[in-house]
Amino acid sequence: MRRQRQEMIAETRAKLIAAARQAFGAAGYAEASMDDFTAGAGLTRGALYHHFGDKKGLLQAVIHEIDAEMTARLNRVSAAAPNRWEGFVEECVAYIQMALEPEIQRIMFRDGPAVLGDISQWPSTNGCIAALSESLRQLKADGVIIDVDIEVAARLINGASSHAALWIANSDAAEETSRRAVDGFRALLEGLRVDRK
């Protein structure tokens, strides 16, 4: 009985998140109506309020889901690289380039900061900084990067990649902005290498 209830709760949450994600991605947070996505999920406003508190809480859940998907994609990018350094660089670049994808652009890099505030203050940022720190520690231990304060480097890389993504998402020429941001970002990362090409 308890398991059935937990499954129903998970199913209700998943339906609301899927409907909100579709609405936020298509119309944007401001234009998306709670009635539209509760009806689209076959649920009531009461279900939304019960599970997420309000529309903002639902946006946080959608962002959490997209962020987890982005992380999984970035891990695959890194794992496919021929070495740890290239994996690190390509993972960072892939994050920046994700700002070109319409759903990510609108939800993560436009509406998210507009509604939830500074992206550097989101709960997921600490996890990103921890992952960057671990990668940098490994690169330092391998003798690939210079002797640098790992936390400082991780925070600066996180900030630079986040701001590059925000710049792309809000640009009138996103493709060109992405190209420029990626070129500049690669040059910055190259400065960490012991043996620069």
Residue-wise pLDDT tens digits, 30-53: 999 888 778 878 888 888 888 898
- Chain segment 12-36, per-residue pLDDT in tens: 889 999 999 999 999 999 999 888 7
Q: Name the CATH code of domain 62-191 (choices 1.10.357.10, 3.30.200.20, 1.10.1040.10, 1.10.3720.10).
A: 1.10.357.10
Q: Is the pTM above the cut of 0.75?
A: yes
- Chain segment 158-197, per-residue pLDDT in tens: 999 999 999 999 999 999 999 999 999 999 999 999 986 5
Alpha carbon distances (Å) from 92 to 13, 60, 74, 140, 143? 31, 23, 8, 17, 20
Q: Does the domain formed by 1-53 have CATH 3.40.50?
A: no
- Cα torsion angle, 87, 90, 93, 98, sign: negative
Residue 107 has pLDDT above 60, yes or no: yes
Q: What single-letter DSSP state applies at residue 108?
A: I
The domain spans of the chain are: 1-53, 62-191
